[in-house]
Structure 1
Amino acid sequence: MKHFAIIGLVALLPNLAAAQETHTGMNHEAMMNGTGMVQGETMATGLQMNPATEAGQSAFAAVEEIVLALDADPDTDWSKVNIPALREHLVDMELVFTDAEVQTTEVENGFQFAVTGAGKTIGSIQRMAIAHAGVMNGTGDWTFSPEKTETGVVLTVTSTADDMDKLRALGFFGIMAMGMHHQNHHWMMATGVNPHG
């Protein structure tokens, strides 16, 4: 039995070598210029596939989506477009969601979130929490009350409804993700409109 397995492996060696040669000889420049493989074509089979949908890091993907839409619109007023402002906002989002620390305290009809950070994260927390509270305050039965501190923000969220379980489950980060207004805000920032003013 071992004899047959060894023969099978030896028989495969030329194919493996050819596959390796194909990969190492791949001309990335030709692919980028459209003279190599068609987009989505696999090296081994030549079949059409396009499994990739992610443009890369999420902030890059968000900027790419907006740039493509602006570029496709012949009425885009490029004198008002401000992609750097959008990028700064996306940096704020990243810092808050990855670097901020949160201490949660239950209060009457809600929760108080002491959100703190260091360095650049402090400003990101303040900008994000205060802007989000401004948009979400009064939505449904919820009240958002932010207070700026030296190291971030204390955000108090209360409800007149029986939403304690929901508020507890969401916590600060879940509450920050609510509203489905972020995409519209990103578009406004990129096109030179202040979404908070």
Structure 2
Amino acid sequence: MSDDHTHVQEFFTARAARWDARFPDDGPAYATAVAELGLREGERVLDAGCGTGRALTPLRAAVGASGVVLGADLTPAMLEAAVRAGRDRDGRLVLADVGRLPLRTASLDAVFAAGLVAHLSNPAENLRELARVVRPGGTLALFHPIGRAALAARQGRQITPEDLRAEANLRPLLAGSGWRMTSYADEDTRFLALATRAG
């Protein structure tokens, strides 16, 4: 495991047990973001970097009983917290690195990723791996329940021009990784970038 992965695992392992309690009001924001993916009954979707699985319930509601919902995360403690919360009933949990997913090429209709971009060890390569597992025309949602400025303020830091989530940086990053950005919203109450898998 790389140093980057070890650092990410340590960060989230230390916070897993209290993660949901720290952000108890985020549920509606997740549900709204999932709705914007436009999933249909029977489709196959991955929650990449699923953490405690907060998106799994709205994802299951969107694809119905006939759909497939997967949640992949690098940190066992986060997946254990998802199981304790009962979210494994809504999706199959997989211990996996989003940079090397144990999934067939073009096997999914969509990927949902909450708070993932900031933790990617190699963003272009990792987004290319997400593109690999999604069929052409499939969708990607990069989400955070608060916007960049609000998140920076919460963490006591400034937004820098090299922030990957800035539209000017994210659009070409996605384009070089097999995605075409279709919408971008960075508001106090949420961050949501949607993209379509290039043909």
TM-score class normalised by the smaller sequence:
under 0.3
Q: TM-score, normalised by structure 2?
A: 0.22
| Bigger share in strand | 2
Structure with greater helix share of residues: 1
- Select the structure of larger CA radius of gyration: 1
Greater length-normalized contact order (CA 8 Å, ≥ 6 residues apart): 2
TM-score calculated relative to the size of structure 1: 0.22
